[in-house]
Every structure is written in C-alpha cells, then in structure tokens.
C-alpha cells in the first residue's frame, strides 16, 4: 500500500536565470491560430540488383497512416551526382579568430539549395571526449573534407561542450571554410583566458541547477543530441548526424527516458545517427594505462577489476550502437580510421524520393502513428523508409478532465516527455521478514516551475503520477498527487534558486520492478519523466555478508511541521525510518554537499538469526582517488530495535569543513566481529565550497 507523501523545500545551490515569461498581449488583441501536420517521408526505391529506380511519380505510390489512406501533397526526387571526390586546397591562410555561432537555416518555400544534396552534420561532443580523442575526431573530419567529400555533399559543423549545442557552420559545400573551422577547433580558442567573476555561466543551458543537476552528464549529452536532431528537423531532406564521442555509458537504467526521447526526436526529424567511437581500437592494459591510478583491494588480483573495465568499455559502446540501430544509422566501433565512419554515412545515402502529406489525424496526442508506403502496379522493388512517427504534443486550455487524461496518456506513451528535469532516489528498508518500505524521493529544479498569482498569493501547482510494475508488466503500486503550493513573497523568490523535493513511499515484496514517474507543471503543461528498473533484494537469504538496507546520504534534517505539503503525516512517521522524533532526514538525491554543512549518513543492519543482539562496528570513509581523505571513528552498535529482525540503526554525522572541494568516494563499512562477517557500500559524492 502507499504510505504517504510530502513536499518540502530543500536547500539548493546557486542558480542562474536563463529566461522569462513572454509579456501578456495588449488589451483587445485577438489571436487566431491554426495549424496542420505535414508529414515528410524519404523513400529509397531499389530493384533486385540494388540500383535506384528512377522516373516514378506520386501516382505510383500509396501511403497509409494507421490504415487510413493519405493524399500525397508533395513529391520530389533527390538525385545525387556520383562524382569522384577532388582533393581540397589547404585551409585558408588567415585562421578564423573565434568560432562563430550560427544556426541551421530552415527551408523557405521554393528554396532549392538543398535539392540533390547529401546533408551531413558533423557533431563533436567535446564534453565526452578527452583532448586526444578530440584531435583524432578533428583529423578525421579534416581528412574527409579535404580528400573524400564529393560534389553532392553539404556539411554542417556542430559542437557540444557541456553547456549548449553550438552550430559552428550551417550546411555548406565550401571546403575551405569548413577546413578553417576545423583548424580553429584543433588550435582552440581563448586558451589563455582565465575565468573570473565576469565570466558568463552557460552551464545551465538545459535548465538544471549547475551545482546539482549538471552532474548528470549522460542526460545532458543525450539531451544535447536531441536538441541537435530537432535543429536538423527544419530541413525536409534526409540528414545524417555523424556523432563523435568517446563512448556514451548509461548509468544503469537511470537514463532510459532521455535515451528514448532522443531516439524518437531523431526519427521524428528524419535524422539518422552515425556514432563514431573516437577512441578507435583500444589495446587496454588489464588494469588501465598510466593515465589512471591503480586499483586497490583483491579485485586487481582476482581479475574482477579487469573484467569491470572491459564491461564498462562494452557498455559505453552499446549505447552508441543503440542510437545508430534505432535511427537507421550504423556505429563505427573499434576502428582507427575514423573518417571511414563519415564515408559509410555518405555511401549509405543513395538517390531517394521525398513524399509529403498532411495527416488526416490532427490530434496532437503524442501517440505513435504507423506508416505504410507501397508501390502501385506490378513493379518489383524494395522500399526503405521510416515505419512511423510520434505525433506532437500540445498543452492548451484543457478542462480538468482533459488535463487528467493528458497526464495519464503521457504515462502510457512510449515516447517519454523530458521537458522538466527530474532526479530520483529509491531506497529500501526491511519492515518484516516479507515486506520492505521503499521511500521514493524526487527533486525538480524550482526555477523550471512557473509561478502565478491567484487570490493575491503566489503559488505553483505540480501534478505527480507514477506506477510501479513488476517484472511481468503488472502494475504493483501507483501514485497520483496534485499539489498546490502557496508561497509568501519571500518564498516565491527563493523558488527560482532552490530545487523542490517530493517524496512518497511504498511497501513492496522482494523482486525486480520498473517505475515510471511523471511530474507536470500545471501552469504550462511542461512534463518531466523518470523511469528506471530497480531490485528489492531478499535480505533473509543473505548469509555471507551482513544484511544492510540502502544507505541514505543527507545534509538536512527538517521538522515535519515545516513541510509545505503533508498528505499523511501520521502514517509517514510510523512507517518511514527516515522520520524520528518529529524530524525527517532529507536524502540528497544528487549527493552534492557544501563544506559549510554537515553530511548525515543513515542505514540499518539486520541480525534476524542471532540469538541475541551482537555488537557491530561501523565507520564511514571518504576517498579521493587512492588516498584516504577522511574517516570517522568506529561506531559500536550494541542495541537493536525491539523487533524480530533485530534492526540496528547506524547513524553518522560528518563535518566537511576541513575537506577540499572535489569528487570523493564515500564508503560505509559494517563489521560483525563475532561472526566474522562484513558489508560494504560505496557511492560517489561531490563537495562544493
């Protein structure tokens, strides 16, 4: 059953205003709005020999969407001139002093500059490539432009450095211009500039609070890739985005929503992704090269450390492969000639037909529309085209029933909505021999929520909906809340600088589950999705190690009376182990801590098989690299709670003021001297000034 819910303000970090609401329309202004949904399909038609069939007309094709015939309104044939590439002249003598920031120009009616041209966008993810890999990527781009670019190719240059997606060059066939920009990327710009208080902060380009949400680099990389695909979607022709990166590793299942959203955005925009692993063919030492410190412990002798390194490399390439296969591209992995990846994207684009139609289904419901295109008559040919698309989504003046239905449909969509940033933490604590209490904590940047004034008081409305399914796809638990937060003038101004934290809890049995959770700003209709797979272990079967719960890291204890919203305080106090004597421990979802605050560590150990409560020793250690930066004194736990599990709560308070800012590895060690058993837990934390 669902235990309860609470919505709290938590202390946030520095934030930066990145925009403002549009000004209201003047009095008496009347706005008329109408729209149609133009669907554009690129269709390759080849005979049995693999040659492109030319000379077809619109009357030779039949288009169906979800079984309904569609009327073709736009038809065009794109024919590529297969000319041998000519060697380009050397780059211009005068280097470009500063990398320009332009944009992808949308096609105007009657614009034919992209007709019969291959559209290749070179995208450099500098946030995911060390300097050596960046140089290899730039060299590959320079080689392709200088010696392999054909007369039919138009190339755009895009880059992402962790802040925002930058279009360095719109599509052009000016190889001299492209080579000059590549040279500027290689040399670098503003290398001698020293950041000071006047340096602009662009790290919040996607809305995350810099000090916390920017640590989710994988989501930012995928979100940036999604932004690039949407930019290219302004052009109706087929586009290939050649994605240079040093792998892309998902953090378990935490990035699945953003991964799906990125793939769907590329499909919707008619963009195929061609990832290139800039690391090339790696000959790794089993325990890493000289750029990393050696591992410690028995894992380096048993082979476990080497196996983990190999697994991490494979996982970082699996994501690139998934991006390519789901969008119609192909990944170049374990190959040193990176330019070959651009060439294979170029060769994959043969002459094709562009078919456009206005869909008869005008609903902006975000659902998947399946497309079927066939040739009339007895022509024997193979057709290659995208098999469908997700319709757009729109939030307008809905009734209460419409808004509820829109939120429930968003929960069911296969295309996750990622307009709001969401971070989540799931923990588990054993209640009895069968059940576990699972607190769920969600954090949303406060500045991403719109404020409105009603009745003279500022407030913001947030809708929450989620469901927990077991491994068989059956819904096991669900949550639905609508929270109207009334704020004073002072609190309203703080909302723009502080994240909001929502928490609830469930009672679950051991097993594997998947949770999908949505939050919606009811003022603007912007929705964020978080989905992940998690496992509740059966601690009753743990015999080799000490059974322990999840470890909660926090920097705050708050009085329950200070909660802005509390649905069921009595149930929360009795079931939630994070609530004690009217004080609630607020988990740090992002595990970012200030030096000026203390860090609280809480976990539970269980000794159900012991005839009497056995004393346990526990301590917390912070490592920076291979060096031990801090360690608490051993805590002797001698008294257990009065239950059959003999629950031993372990609590620590760490003073962080003597530590230097940076990344640390937090390790919790629990030892049972009498039975010679132990338990270990590790997680990265970030310490900021």
CATH of the domain at 484: 2.60.40.3880
| 226/313 same-domain check | yes
pLDDT confidence tier of residue 87, bands split at 50, 70 and 90:
low
What is the number of structural domains in the chain? 3
Confidence band for 298, pLDDT divided at 50, 70 and 90: low
Q: Which residue did the predictor score with more confidence, 652 or 419? A: 652
Name the region of 606 (left: φ>0; alpha: ψ -120 to 50; beta: rest): beta
Average pLDDT value for residue range 315-340: 88
Nearest to 654 by CA among 605, 588, 575: 588
| Contact predicate 79/112, CB 8 Å | no
Kindly state the average pLDDT of the residues 543-559: 89
**Domain span holding position 648:** 551-689
Scanning 43-173, the segments in alpha helix (DSSP H) are 131-143
In terms of domains, do 316 and 338 share one? yes
Query: CB of 499 within 8 A of CB of 386?
Result: no
Nearest one of 396, 391, 373, 417 to 37, comparing CA atoms: 391
Name the DSSP letter for residue 640: -
Per-residue confidence (pLDDT) for residue 106, from 0 to 100: 80
Q: Which helix (DSSP H) or strand (DSSP E) does residue 150 occupy? A: none
Bridge partners of residue 599, in order along the sequence: 654
> In the predicted model, is pLDDT for residue 642 greater than 50?
yes
Asked if 329 and 240 count as a contact pair (C-beta separation under 8 A), the reply is yes
Least confident segment among 55-69, 387-401, 516-530, 538-552: 387-401
Helix runs in 75-173, H state only = 131-143
Long-range contacts at 646-649 (CB < 8 A, ≥ 24 apart): 646/606, 646/607, 646/608, 646/610, 646/613, 647/430, 647/604, 647/605, 647/606, 648/604, 648/605, 648/606, 648/607, 648/613, 648/616, 649/577, 649/602, 649/603, 649/604
Listed residue (325, 522, 251) closest to 410, CA to CA: 522
Output the furthest CA–CA distance in the chain (Å, rounded): 87
Q: How confident is the model at residue 394 (pLDDT cuts 50, 70, 90)?
A: low
How far apart, in whole angstroms, are the C-alpha atoms of residue 246 and residue 248?
7
- Comparing 6-10, 46-50, 322-326, 634-638, which segment has the lowest mean pLDDT? 6-10
Question: Do both 470 and 562 map to the same domain?
Answer: no
Do 467 and 579 share a domain, yes or no?
A: no
Give me the pLDDT at residue 567, please.
39
* SS3 assignment, position 471: coil
Q: Give the pLDDT confidence score for residue 301 in this predicted structure.
A: 61
pLDDT, one tens digit per residue, over 597-622 is 999 999 999 988 777 777 899 999 99
Residue closest to 96 by CA, chosen among 191, 154, 193, 179? 179
Rounded average pLDDT over 584-605 = 90
Neighbouring CB atoms inside 10 A of 134's CB total 21
Is there a single domain that holds both residue 674 and residue 557? yes
pLDDT score of 3 more than 50: no
Distance in angstroms (rounded) separating the CA atoms of residues 665 and 100: 40
- Taking 70 as the threshold, does the pLDDT of residue 24 lie above it? no
Residues 178-207 have a mean pLDDT of 55
* pLDDT score, position 138: 94
CA distance linking residue 84 with residue 148, whole number of Å: 8
pLDDT at 478 over 70: yes
Is residue 16 a part of any domain in this protein? no
pLDDT tier for residue 220 given thresholds of 50, 70 and 90: confident
Same domain, 133 and 262: yes
166 or 537: which leads in pLDDT: 537
Nearest to 420 by CA among 387, 370, 460: 460
Q: In the prediction, which pLDDT does 273 show?
A: 93
Mean pLDDT in residue range 534-549? 91
- What is the rounded average pLDDT of the residues 587-593? 87
**SS3 of 116, please?**
coil
Range scoring the smallest mean pLDDT among 291-305, 320-334, 448-462, 473-487 = 291-305
Q: Which range is least confidently modeled, 252-261, 376-385, 393-402? A: 393-402
**Is residue 344, in this structure, part of any structural domain at all?**
yes
Q: Judge contact between 243 and 188, C-beta under 8 A.
A: no
- Given a cut of 50, is residue 217 above it in pLDDT? yes
CB atoms within 10 A of CB 633: 8
Specify the pLDDT at position 226.
86
- pLDDT for 566: 41
The per-residue pLDDT for 216 is 55
Task: Tell whether 502 and 589 lie within a shared domain.
Answer: no
pLDDT of residue 51: 85
Residue 21 or 165, more confident:
165
Q: Does residue 466 sit in the same domain as residue 595? A: no
Range with the poorest average pLDDT among 116-130, 205-219, 494-508 = 205-219
Is the domain of 173 the same as that of 271? yes
Collapsing DSSP states into helix, strand and coil, what is residue 11?
A: coil
Separation between Cα atoms, residue 163 and residue 161, nearest integer Å: 6
Q: What CATH number did the domain enclosing 340 receive?
A: 3.40.50.410
Q: Are 477 and 509 in contact (CB under 8 A)?
A: no
Q: Is the dihedral of CA 414, 418, 420, 426 positive or negative?
A: positive
Q: Is residue 677 part of a domain?
A: yes
Record the tokens describing residue 646, joined without a space. Answer: 């003999």
| Three state DSSP letters for 209-272 | CHHHHCCCHHHHHHHHHHHHHHHHCCCCCCEEEEEEECCCCCCCCCCHHHHHHHHHHHHHHCEE
- Rounded distance between C-alpha atoms, residue 335 and residue 333, angstroms: 6
Phi, psi of 88 (to 5 degrees): -80, 150
- Separation of alpha carbons 169 and 627, rounded Å: 45
H or E element: which one contains 304? helix 304-327
As a whole number, mean pLDDT of residues 346-365 equals 85
Domain termination residue (choose one: 542, 559, 580): 542
Tell whether 559 is covered by a domain: yes
Strands (E), 522-661: 527-536, 552-559, 565-566, 579-580, 583-587, 592-594, 598-606, 616-624, 627-631, 635-637, 647-655
Query: What pLDDT does 19 receive?
Result: 25
Which stretch of DSSP H or E encloses residue 573?
helix 569-575
pLDDT confidence band for 512 (50 / 70 / 90): very high
Examine the domain organization and report whether 573 and 515 are in the same domain.
no
**Given CA atoms 214, 218, 219, 222 in this order, what sign does their dihedral have?**
positive
pTM for the full predicted model? 0.60
CATH code of 587's domain: 2.60.40.10
What's 145's DSSP letter?
A: I
494: in domain: yes
- Determine the average pLDDT of the residues in 471-488: 82
Q: Which of 542, 565, 588 is the last residue of a domain?
A: 542
Residue 141 pLDDT level (bands cut at 50, 70, 90): very high
532 domain residue, yes or no: yes
Q: Of 170, 55, 155, 52, give the one whose Cα is nearest residue 104.
A: 170
Rounded to whole angstroms, the Cα distance separating 362 from 355 reads: 19
Q: Is residue 652 part of a domain?
A: yes
* pLDDT over 80 (residue 666): yes
Where does a domain end: 542, 571, 596?
Answer: 542
Mean pLDDT score, 216-239: 83
Strand 239-245 and strand 271-277: pairing?
A: parallel
Average pLDDT (24-48) is 64
Question: Which whole number is the average pLDDT over 182-186?
Answer: 85
Average pLDDT, the chain: 78
What is the pLDDT confidence band of residue 427, given thresholds at 50, 70 and 90? very high
Share of the chain above pLDDT 70, in %: 74
Residue 114 lies in a domain: yes
Mean pLDDT value of segment 145-158? 90
pLDDT at 398: 66
Whether residue 1 is predicted with pLDDT greater than 70 in this model: the reply is no
Q: Which of 19-28, 291-300, 495-504, 584-593 is the most confident on average?
A: 584-593
Indicate if 284 and 317 belong to the same structural domain.
Answer: yes
- Tokens representing 549 are 């719960």
In terms of C-beta density within 10 A (0-12 exposed, 13-18 middle, 19 or more buried), how is residue 469 classed?
Answer: middle
Q: Is the pLDDT of residue 265 over 60?
A: yes
Could you tell me the two tokens for 108? 């105007």
Predicted confidence at residue 203, as pLDDT, reads 37
Cβ–Cβ under 8 Å, residues 330 and 240:
no
Tokens of 76: 């065009």
Residues 227, 105, single domain; the answer is: yes
């Amino acid at each position: 059953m669902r235990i309860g819910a609470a919505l709290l303000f938590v202390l946030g970090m520095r934030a930066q205003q990145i925009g403002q609401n549009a000004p209201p329309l003047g009095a008496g202004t009347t706005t008329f709005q109408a729209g149609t949904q133009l669907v554009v399909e690129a269709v390759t038609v080849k005979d049995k020999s693999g040659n492109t069939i030319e000379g077809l007309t619109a009357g030779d094709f039949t288009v169906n969407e979800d079984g309904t015939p569609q009327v073709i309104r736009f038809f065009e044939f794109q024919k590529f001139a297969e000319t041998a590439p000519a060697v380009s002249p050397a780059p211009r003598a005068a280097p470009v002093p500063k990398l320009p920031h332009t944009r992808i120009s949308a096609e105007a009616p009657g614009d034919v500059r992209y007709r019969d041209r291959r559209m290749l966008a070179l995208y450099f993810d500098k946030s995911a490539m060390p300097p050596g890999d960046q140089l290899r990527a730039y060299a590959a781009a320079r080689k392709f432009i200088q010696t392999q670019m054909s007369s039919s190719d138009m190339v755009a240059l895009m880059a992402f450095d962790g802040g925002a997606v930058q279009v360095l060059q719109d599509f052009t066939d000016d190889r001299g211009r492209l080579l000059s920009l590549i040279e500027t990327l290689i040399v670098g710009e503003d290398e001698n500039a020293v950041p000071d208080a006047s340096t602009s902060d662009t790290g919040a380009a996607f809305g995350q609070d810099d000090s916390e949400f920017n640590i989710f680099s994988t989501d930012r990389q995928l979100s940036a890739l999604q932004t690039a695909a949407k930019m290219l979607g302004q052009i109706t022709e087929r586009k290939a985005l050649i994605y240079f990166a040093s792998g892309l590793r998902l953090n378990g299942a935490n990035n699945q929503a953003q991964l799906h959203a990125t793939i769907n955005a590329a499909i919707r925009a008619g963009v195929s992704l061609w990832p290139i692993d800039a690391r090339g063919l790696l000959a790794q030492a089993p325990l890493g090269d000289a750029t990393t410190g050696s591992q410690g412990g028995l894992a380096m002798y048993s082979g476990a450390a080497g196996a983990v390194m190999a697994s991490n490399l494979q996982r970082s390439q699996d994501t690139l492969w998934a991006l390519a296969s789901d969008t119609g591209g192909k990944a170049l992995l374990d190959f040193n000639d990176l330019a070959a990846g651009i060439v294979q994207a170029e060769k994959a684009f043969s002459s094709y037909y562009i078919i456009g139609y206005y869909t008869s289904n005008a609903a902006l419901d975000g659902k998947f529309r399946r497309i079927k295109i066939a040739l009339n008559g007895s022509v024997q040919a193979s057709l290659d085209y995208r098999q469908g698309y997700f319709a757009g989504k729109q939030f307008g003046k809905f009734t209460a029933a419409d808004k509820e239905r829109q939120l429930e449909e968003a929960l069911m969509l296969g295309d996750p909505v990622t307009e709001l940033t969401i971070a989540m933490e799931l923990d588990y604590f054993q209640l009895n021999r069968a059940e576990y209490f699972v607190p769920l904590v969600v954090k949303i940047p406060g500045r991403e929520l719109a404020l409105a004034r009603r009745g003279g008081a500022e407030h913001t409305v947030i809708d929450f909906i989620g469901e927990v399914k077991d491994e068989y796809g059956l819904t096991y638990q669900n949550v639905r809340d609508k929270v109207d937060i009334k704020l004073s003038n002072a609190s309203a101004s703080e909302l723009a600088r502080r994240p909001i934290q929502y928490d609830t809890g469930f009672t679950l049995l051991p097993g594997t589950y998947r949770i999908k959770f949505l939050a919606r700003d009811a003022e603007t209709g912007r929705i964020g999705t978080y989905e992940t797979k998690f496992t509740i272990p059966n601690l009753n079967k743990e015999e080799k190690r000490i059974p322990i719960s999840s470890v909660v890291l926090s920097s705050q204890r708050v009085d329950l009376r200070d909660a802005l919203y509390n649905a069921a305080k009595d149930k929360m106090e009795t079931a939630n182990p994070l609530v004690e004597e009217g004080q609630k421990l607020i988990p740090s979802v992002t595990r970012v801590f200030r030096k000026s605050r203390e860090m609280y560590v809480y976990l539970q150990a269980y000794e159900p098989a012991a005839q009497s409560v056995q004393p346990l020793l526990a301590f917390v250690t912070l490592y920076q690299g291979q060096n031990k930066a801090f360690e608490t004194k051993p805590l002797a736990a001698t008294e257990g709670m009065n239950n059959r599990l003999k629950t031993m709560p372990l609590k620590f308070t760490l003073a962080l003021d003597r530590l230097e800012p940076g990344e640390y590895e937090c390790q919790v060690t629990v030892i049972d001297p009498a039975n010679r058993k132990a338990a270990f837990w590790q997680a990265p934390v970030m310490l900021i000034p």
